[in-house]
Amino acid sequence: MAGTDRNRELITGGPAIVLVEPQLGENIGMVARAMANFGLSNLRIVNPRDGWPNDKAVSAASRADHVIEGAVVFETLEQALEDLNFVYATTARPRDGHKPVVGPVEAGEALRGRENAGEKTGLLFGRERIGLRNWEVGLADAIVTFPVNPAYASLNIAQAVLLMSYEWMKSGLADPHQTAFARPEVTPAPKADLHGLFGQIERGLDARGYFRSETKRMKTVDNLRAVLTRPGFSTAEINLLRGLFASFEKFDRTRQPDEGDALRDHGETEE
């Protein structure tokens, strides 16, 4: 599967994801996949309609085997929650009662804080068709809801789990803008390399009669240099471009090759 690297450390743990009477094995599998994406592994299933284990869940999990294999099935919701210290119930519609209501960002941060303090926490998700019943929401400590289109607020169970799993992972980042990988730091090329590139391009344009007047030459060269200096090319990137242009110039028998072109044909640099 794209993005999967079995040689890297597998993040596990976190709040329990509790599914109440899920109907389809495929949905359970997609929930497991979403959990694995963001470092959650504690899956609890209350009275699944199609029984457990479920081959369709295994297939839909896309190799999130540790989540599927570690899933625990309970007959009642009370049993699934009895060892937890704090639980959020997820819902898309307003509920009567006096429970605090928070958004996913606040919920993710609160869960992280409680888990770090040694508490056992959980996120409660309802059935695909009708969600959670009021008495089931009543077993939770607070409600988390998502800012969705009010005219189309229904989320697939795997989508809801994915959103909260993402907020859980994000709450543990040192920097909220952190990404999985970034472009390596590149030292900009010396100006001499850029000047060589400019000269090569200008000679090629000259040989093909591109500059029909000195006025056009001056304007075009100024614009060209402005474009090529903007990105901050590295030496390797400039050599790649020069090798590309040199391949075009091989068909121009009127030009004498300049020093270094043979090396740049393949993006190599002179030692």
How is 28-94 classified by DSSP, letter by letter?
HHHHHHHHHHTT---EEEES-TT-SS-HHHHHHTTT-HHHHHH-EEESSHHHHHTT-SEEEEE-SS-
pLDDT at site 38: 94
Higher-pLDDT residue of 212 and 143 is: 143
Task: For residue range 78-99, list pLDDT tens digits in order.
Answer: 999 999 999 999 988 777 777 9
Higher model confidence: residue 238 or residue 125? Answer: 125
- Report the chain's mean pLDDT, rounded to a whole number: 85
Task: Report domain 16-171's class.
Answer: alpha beta
Kindly report whether the peptide bond that precedes residue 100 is cis, defined as omega within 30 degrees of 0. no
Q: What is the pLDDT of residue 247?
A: 80
Q: Given pLDDT bands bounded at 50, 70 and 90, which one contains residue 143?
A: very high
**What is the arithmetic mean of pLDDT over 241-263?**
63
The mean pLDDT value for 186-215 works out to 83
- Token pair belonging to 14: 């976190």
- pLDDT tens-place string over residues 224-239: 888 878 777 888 888 8
Mean pLDDT of 142-169: 91
With residues binned 3-state (H G I as helix, E B as strand, rest as coil), the percentages for the chain, rounded to 5, are: 40, 10, 45
Higher pLDDT, 35 or 269: 35
| Residue 186 pLDDT > 50 | yes
